[in-house]
Amino acid sequence: MHGRLKVKSTAQQEEQKRQEREKKLKIFVAVRDACFSKRKEGIWDDEALKLTQQVLSSNPDFATLWNYRKEILMHQETVKEKDEVQTIYGAELSFLESCLQTNPKSYGSWYHRGWVSSRMPKPDWARELTLCDRCLSLDERNFHCWDYRRMVVKMSGVSVDQELAFTDRLIGSNFSNYSSWHYRSTLLPLLHPESPEPPSPCLKPAQTSPPPSPQTHSHRVCEEQLLKEYELVQNAFFTDPNDQSAWFYYRWLLGRAEREDMISCVYVSRDEERVAVAFSRPVNAQSVGLLLVLDGQPQRVEWRSVHPRFKHSPLWICDLPPGTISDISYEHNLTVHWTEKHIHRDCALYTGRTESYCRDSAMDQELFRSELSVEKTSVLQSELQSCNQLQELEPLNKWCSLTIILLMRALDPLGYEKEMLAHFQTLREVDSMRSAYYSDLCSKFMIENTILKMEYAEVRVFSISDKNLTTLCHLDQLLLVTHINLSSNQLQRLPPQFAMLQCLEVLEADNNSIENLEGLYHLPKLEEVLLKNNKISTLADLQPLASCPKLKRLDLRGNPVTQIANVESELAELLPAVKDLLL
């Protein structure tokens, strides 16, 4: 028997624990009920404070009781001396501390703390900051604490550079911390704002008159600081290239200014007596105060998006009252006002012309490249070099490859096209789980490049065949395209956005996997649709075509739909205007 200790069996332990739990529960319920009945009677005394404290210390997530406590405290404020109130709130804070020790992520406790701190006659912000720092040193990702800290900082007016030093410290101890990086991204523009450069005229679209709104540049950082940040973040991703937080911050640093709000294109067609307006971002034309002035006369028109599915769209169209511009011998002047933003764009429809448009010429600079000064371009060049260096060391790191692609896009999208495709290939291999994402992204970049090429060539033909496209985007940029060739890609559908190609006459989309033609919706000029070797399988899928009035020629060879019995007669019924049907 010597020294052998008797240890309780697990059954005994459990039984004892169960009993303890029951006892606790009984007390808890009793106190809770007492609190509720007191609140009902509107009693706001010290005893109520004590009772709620009892419950909350075991369950700090009881929002109702916190609210009751707030009521009591507010009542106390009215009846007690200022000094006393300060003491009460002080006690409240230390009680909250104990609650936070039980559950450092309790919404209720943190919120209540914020409330108490803001109501306290003489809040001790320094103490609160220390508390936050201690909390964050225990768990640097406790977002409740981050939230509370933001409030404390705001209330106590801690200087921005002190806060930046704070993020330095947190990042130094563990750079895998989104909160700190993000906080940095909000502090830097305040501390080192980008000097407001006079916008260089060559880059500015000639026709946008209003000055750039102050917000446009507000999140940019001056170049000198930017260089320091690049160095810091490089240290992080060279140390651990698999940690995403640094890469995301880097991406923010590389980010470009937001596009200004503007009307990018106005298109008018005499035949359809229709006006199409493209915006720099999706808007709801019904609510932004869009006004169409024709020859000095405001017109009452009804704006609609190209597809009923879009409430917000970068492209809006309207039909002019019949006969207003149909006479080819008249010249008309159109102005579209975006009254909300004080922006307008003119467009003249000359005699003898069936259509006219007015749009930004320097689209390439505007859309797919960041606005970079010469210095910044050289900075980006050196950033690309260091990323390439890392890539050599870590050929399989996806973040690095992706960043290289983005840097190349920012520097010279057309020049780096080949390298970009190679990097996408690596990405698909090393990160096969996201291969579809990379394919989509690659499609997007290829489309951007093709748009640029089309711009340079000043044509209205968009040809992007055999580029492994998986998705279509930037379709609002293709408003004026008359002929599109999407053959031999991997497209599965023509999305509703496709209806933005208001000038489209010929669609070539052979050898894809298209099943869905939703986007071929009310295209006024569409005459020819070539869909050889796709996956259209039912007549219903062809239904949208019926809304295109000028469709003459349709090639459906090699589609499952051709196997349907009576397909010819059914189609004749569905699309009576189509004369040239290939099955």
User: Rule CB under 8 A: which residues touch another protein?
Assistant: 1-8, 13, 172-175, 234-236, 238-241, 386, 389-390, 393-394
> 156 CB contacts (<8 Å, ≥6 apart)?
123, 125, 126, 128, 129
For residues 238 and 211, is the Cβ–Cβ distance under 8 A? no
Choose between 239 and 373: whose C-beta lies nearer to another protein.
Answer: 239
Evaluate whether 41 touches 48 at the Cβ level (below 8 Å). no
User: Closer CB to another protein, residue 5 or residue 374?
Assistant: 5
Which C-beta is closer to another protein: that of 15 or that of 83?
15
Complex with another protein: residue 401 or 470, whichever CB lies closer: 401
Residue identified by tokens 């090699």 is 558
Distance in Å, CB of 80 to another protein, minimum: 39
Is residue 488 within 8 Å of 465, Cβ to Cβ?
A: yes
Strands 553-555 and 580-582: parallel
Q: Which residues pair with 338 in a beta bridge?
A: 290, 343
With respect to another protein, which residue has the nearer C-beta, 3 or 201?
3
Q: Smallest distance from the beta carbon of 408 to another protein, in angstroms?
A: 20
Per DSSP, the residues of 195-246 read P-PPPPTTTS-TT--SPPPGGGGTT-B-HHHHHHHHHHHHHHHHH-TT-HHH
Cβ-based neighbours of 1, under 8 Å, separated by 6 or more: none
Cα gap 501→485, rounded to integer Å:
13
CA distance 149 to 141: 12
Give the nearest distance from C-beta 234 to another protein in angstroms.
5
Residue 242 CA to residue 166 CA, distance in Å, equals 24
CB nearer to another protein: give 326 or 385. Answer: 385
The structure tokens listed for 337 are: 């006002």
Helices (H), 485-580: 539-542, 567-574
Q: Which is nearer to another protein, 3 or 323 (CB)?
A: 3
The least CB distance from residue 383 to another protein, in Å, is 12
Q: Report the residue number, 394 or 528, with the smaller CB distance to another protein.
A: 394
- Which is nearer to another protein, 389 or 432 (by Cβ)? 389
Query: Which has the closest alpha carbon to 504: 539, 472, 541, 471?
Result: 472
Q: Residue 244 Cβ, how far from another protein at the closest point, in Å?
A: 14
> What minimum distance in Å lies between the beta carbon of 388 and another protein?
12
Decide whether 172 or 321 has the Cβ nearer to another protein: 172
Smallest gap, in angstroms, from Cβ of residue 266 to another protein? Answer: 50
**Closest distance to another protein from the beta carbon of 13 (Å):** 6
Q: What is the widest separation between alpha-carbon atoms in the chain?
A: 118
Q: How far is the CB of 186 from another protein (least distance, A)?
A: 22
* Angstrom distance (rounded) from CA 570 to CA 550: 19
SS3 letters for 312-346? CEEEEEEECCCCCCCCCCCCEEEEEEEHHHCEEEE
For the bound state, the minimum distance from the C-beta of residue 243 to another protein, rounded and expressed in Å, comes to 9
